[in-house]
Chain A
Amino acid sequence: MRKAFRYMTAAAALAAIASFTASAAGAAEEVKIGFTAALSGDFAAYGENMQRGLELAIGEINAKSDNGGITLAITTADDRGLPSDGVLIAQRFCSDETVDIVMGYSFSSVALAAATIINDCQLPVLASAVTSPDLAGVSPYFRRNVLTDAVQGELAGTYAAKVLGAKRIAALNQQDDYGIGGTDAFVAAAKAAGAEILSREAYVLGTKDFKTQLTSIKAQTPDLLWVGGFYTEAAKIAQQARQIGLDVQILGSDGLLSPKLIELGGASIDGTILYGMFDPSVAKPEVQAFVKAYKDKYGEEPNAWAALAYDAGYTLNEAAKLAAAKNGKVDRVGLNAAFAEIKAVPGVTGPTTFQENGNREGTVVYLQVKDGKFILAPKQLN
């Protein structure tokens, strides 16, 4: 405790030397995050993953001795996955002058409902799991560090046809903006690259039984099964496919990227290929450190939601430092301007840079489940 204090005073002194303006305010600048996601109800798990990732990042950042006087604080609000709660929470964060930025969002619809309010009070948003194309350019204050489902799907479609050489593809998609958007793009790209789409069917998030769809798919003899959805359903799809003797290569979207996929899917999930912005196969040291820290803290391995929220925390930190250095303080408008300027902030999901419309630049890596682990898929899209 005392030691930390000493470091902090030292850091403040250093900052004072570095910049006259930054010294007074920068020394004790607390950046408050308004975190919102679905934390109760059917789909609380995804929100919880994000919360954990973000809180881990905040803990690490606040433990740093040389963070330009910036500390991060968090206040949490459960939106239950309801757009109406999204509106309320947006207003709450807007009215709470101490909140500098909104993070989280497990569902695009909640973010969409909140967008107008947040725009009106000029509160920056850095979301980390919402992929709807409708959110692109929705407000100059809205950003996300996840690729849109359209970009992801297109890459995946090309990958399926060109790299994996799939000729006959059956597609399953989650019936929501994420699943539909990604699969639309996937199907278009795969067709353009010469593959045939045998069938495409939707399922509702939370579906347990896929045997009927899979039985029909089996009769079509596909050579690839695309799953545009989340890990919970993908695990069931893989298991039930094996149960009915459907032995087909599965290719999944980044919603599959979770250790829970392997835990829930067991042996059936082996061989599944998926993509994501985060490669937990621990090739890079920073990823390794993240995975270890997360495991130590929460007793489970991180997934894509957690990784993106974790990176969002660090991205915010960079922007806050930049804003503090420029204006001597961190406020909403300054922070927003800083987000537009920061470039290639390193993270476990790769470097973060934002485009004009709030989308993130970046690409995906292809992973494969092998013996209960994610490994880098042998074939990548060049």
Chain B
Amino acid sequence: MDILLQFFINALMLGAIYALAAVAYTLVYGILEMINFAFGELFMFGAFLVVSFMLPQVSLFGVMVPMPGLPFLLAAPLAIFIVAGMGYLIERCAYRPLRFAPRLAPLITAIAVSVALQNLAQSVWGAQELAYPSFFLLEAKPIQIGGAYISMVEIAVIVTAAVVMTALHFYVKKTRMGRAMRAAAQDVEAAALMGIPVNRVIAMAFIIGSGLAALAGIFYGAVYLFAHPHMGFMPGLKAMVAAVLGGIGNIRGAMLGGIVLGFAETFGAAYLPNGSAYRDAIAFGILILLLLFRPQGLLGTRLPNRLADRGAMAFKGSASAIDAGLARLSAFFAGRDLVRYASWGILAVVAVSVFFIFPSPYWARVFVFVLIYALLASGLNIVVGFAGLLDLGFVAFWAVGSYFTSILFVEVLAKGYGVDVSSVWWLFYVNLLLGGGLAALFGMMLGYPTLRLRGDYLAIMTLGFGEIIRLVATNWVDLTRGPMGIRGIPVPSLFGYKLGSPVQLYLLGLVLLALAVFLIALMVRSYLGRAWVAIREDEAAAEAMGINTARYKLYAYSAGGFFGGVTGVFFAHSQQYISPLSFTLFENILILMLIVLGGMGTLAGPIIGAAIWVVFLEVARDMPFIQQHPELRFMALGVLLVVLMIFRPQGLLGQKRQPLMMS
């Protein structure tokens, strides 16, 4: 009984924090139908700012800076205020210019903002956890109820969450701004027509949402007594899950979703077999089940409105100086054909430099990675670039291919049956196909439940799938050797002749990439590719023209999955060692960003994006500044992506449109 009561208290506290952050997601989603991934980072900034204000001194950019040492009750509102301002600025600068862009644009931008903020925080506060300074709530003695304990902070979290959310409920119900918000959430277009200042309403939603995220982060930090640059990422995702769980766009639903998630996680971790290792998978598992059986969420009524017409949502923002400036910049970038010529230049330079890399195994190895990322990006590009489906679980296919061949070669053949793996060299080539095929099958499995979902739901769902696969790879130690990874994977060979040197691997990879691009081109330049692009451009119109969108989406997932799987097999054998560390969500985001960088929905874009980024990463290693602050590279990429999405959504090199017909 004591133990149940203690679980109950833990769950309620965790649920309250999720609920606060979930309300942030739901507020913004309700109006803009956009998932602001960056709330996770604003959550983190909330915690960092409070800690910084409360301490007598803090190391910022590696320099000790004196701080006011404010009491908690002053520091917290100040932090919330600042974070709310950040939220406003992010909306104003990064999201508003994209309000009428295709669905994917704001979503990708939000991810990029999130990456940039995370790495910015690491530059400012360092990579270490910062300890939460003690204050009155922490010093107070916990209350004992039977054998269970509840601390003052936990009481404060639960009470404050309840009060804030009740207040918000009344704000939305009773005030003018609140009513405007509700109207906008019903129908932005209609609200704009009725004279509701939509821009101000949206800004307000961001301000309130960011403040709530900051508050959640402050509490999260206070309960677990730390602040860290990456602390917001997982809770942010969970809060998003909670918002979807409750019915996205529905404030009471978000509260309920948060609490339900808190309970599911706590009790799941306690009572499921190996529950605590799979703890993070619980949230995503629930999400997938939910989206399968009740996509509108627990309290939600809103189903993805598939006839919603993007083009028609044309209310005008006020023509401020910023807007005019943005427009001018945009025109400047759009008008540069220079950049397109530069793209050929760069391709030529890369092609020529290839001849110089042969003497240097290092550069050959770098280019092996260019090829691996180019392969991955090309596969993901089928899903994201051509079919227009945001996929944040793509690394799972990569993992499936890698693990398939590694388990077969090392665990089964070499260890299980004592086979000399060099005698079955041909199996590598068979595995390229089998691994690809297996991943394609996974693609179908992943695709099936997502068919009914729209872009942003899809993104979270695929994200959940990817995380589950990674957690399985980490925790199913008997199959995958878990975090220890699988070692001793043989290098590819041909009739007993080893192809293990970097240059040989490079050439092998080049053949694979050429084949992949060729295959993708053949698929894209046919009715198959046309169907994908039609779905991307306008799903309802595609359907009206006789395209079975569900089926073609599945094809896209499995085609993308196939190339992910093939890459996985090549990756495992070229590296001779794999572990779950390679298949993280961040890698997935990175691959996605490379596609955007080079140009979505083109054949060359992913390759160019991969080449630029991998080579840049290596060249940047020599810069002393980067050696001291390696995270700046990722911050720069995040910022670059935001700028690209706004001014040059067609990618850095402005590729020509991909033809979609047989020639």
A166-204 interface bits toward B, Cβ cutoff 8 Å, 1 = contact, 0 = none: 000000000111001000000000000000000001111
- Does any Cβ of B come within 8 Å of A116's Cβ? yes
A311 interface residue, CB < 8 Å from B? no
Give chain A nearest CB distance to B319 CB in angstroms.
41
Q: How distant is the Cα of A205 from the Cα of B378 in the complex, in angstroms?
A: 32
Determine if A65 is an interface residue (Cβ-Cβ < 8 Å): no
B interface footprint on A112-127 (CB within 8 Å = 1, 0 otherwise):
1101110000000000
Binds B, one of A20-28, A214-222, A312-320, A353-361: A214-222
Contacts of A88 in B (CB 8 A): 365-366, 369, 618
Chain B residue nearest to A44 (CB atoms) is B127
For B576, the chain A residues whose CB sits under 8 A away are 113, 116
User: B269, A175: Cβ atoms under 8 Å?
Assistant: no
A76 to B475, CA, bound (A): 32
Identify which of residues 597-640 in chain B touch chain A, using a CB-to-CB cut-off of 8 Å: 618, 621, 627, 630-631, 633-634
- In the complex, the answer to whether A215 meets B270 with C-beta atoms within 8 Å is yes
Knowing A218-B3, A243-B149 are in contact, say whether A42-B575 is a contact too (CB < 8 A): no
Does B64 count as interface, using CB distance less than 8 angstroms?
A: yes
Verify B631–A215 contact, CB threshold 8 A: no
CB of A95 closer than 8 Å to a CB of B: yes
Return the contact of A134 from the options B279, B280, B487 (Cβ within 8 A): B487
Instruction: Report A130-173 CB contacts with B as 1/0, cut-off 8 Å.
Output: 00101000000000000000000000000000000000000000
Most buried by B among A78, A84, A112: A84
B277 within 8 A of partner (CB):
yes
Nearest to B363 among chain A residues (CB) is A95
Q: Is the CB of B581 within 8 A of A107?
A: yes
Instruction: Among A40, A84, A108, A115, point to the contact of B634 (Cβ < 8 A).
Output: A40
Compute how far the CA of A215 lies from the CA of B618 in the bound complex, rounded to whole angstroms: 47
Q: Contact string, A77-104, partner B, CB cutoff 8 A, digits 1/0?
A: 1101111100110011011100000000
Determine the distance from Cα of A47 to Cα of B225 in the docked complex, in whole angstroms. 22
B119, B571, B577: residue with the most chain A Cβ atoms closer than 10 Å: B577
Instruction: Classify chain A's interface size.
Output: 35 or more
Check if A94 sits within 8 Å of B361, measured CB to CB.
yes
CB distance B277 to A204 under 8 Å?
yes
Query: A352 to B426, alpha carbons, bound, how many Å?
Result: 46
Interface assignment of A279: CB less than 8 Å from any CB of chain B: no
CB-based contact A215/B3 at 8 Å: yes
Within 8 A of B (CB), among A13-31: none
B149–A245 CB distance below 8 A? yes
Quick one: closest B residue to A47, CB to CB? B127
- Interface secondary structure of A, over-half rule: helix
A263 adjacent to chain B (CB < 8 Å): yes
Contact B586 A211 (CB under 8 A): no
Q: Indicate if A327 sits at the interface (CB-CB under 8 A).
A: no
Say if the beta carbon of A48 comes within 8 Å of chain B. yes
Q: Is A260 an interface residue (CB 8 A)?
A: yes
Given A83-B582, A84-B571, is A45 in contact with B129 using a C-beta cutoff of 8 Å? yes
Decide: A91 near B279, CB < 8 A? Known: A113-B577, A266-B131: no
Among A47, A132, A203, contact of B277 (Cβ-Cβ < 8 Å): A203
**A-side contacts of B128, CB under 8 Å:** 45, 48, 260
Q: Any chain B CB within 8 A of the CB of A208?
A: yes
Asked whether A243 lies within 8 Å of B151 as measured between CB atoms, the reply is: yes
- Give every chain B residue within 8 A of A107 (Cβ-Cβ): 581
| Residue contact A113 to B575, C-beta cutoff 8 Å | yes
Which of these binds chain A: B380-388, B476-484, B511-519?
B476-484
Known A82-B581, A219-B2, A264-B226; further 12 A-B contacts with Cβ < 8 A: A42-B230, A77-B627, A83-B575, A84-B372, A94-B362, A95-B361, A96-B362, A211-B10, A218-B6, A245-B144, A245-B148, A299-B59
Residues of A within 8 A of B (CB): 39-42, 44-45, 47-48, 75-78, 80-84, 87-88, 91-92, 94-96, 107-110, 112-113, 115-117, 132, 134, 175-177, 180, 201-204, 206-209, 211-213, 215-216, 218-219, 232, 235-236, 239-240, 243-245, 260, 263-264, 266, 299
9 contacts between A and B (CB under 8 A): A77-B621, A80-B630, A83-B579, A92-B366, A109-B483, A113-B485, A180-B483, A216-B270, A264-B129
Binding site for A on B (CB under 8 A): 2-3, 6-7, 10, 14, 59, 64, 119, 122, 126-129, 131, 134, 142, 144, 147-149, 151, 154, 220, 224-226, 230-231, 234, 266, 269-270, 274-277, 279-280, 360-363, 365-366, 369, 372, 471, 474-475, 477, 482-485, 487, 502, 571, 575-579, 581-582, 586-587, 618, 621, 627, 630-631, 633-634
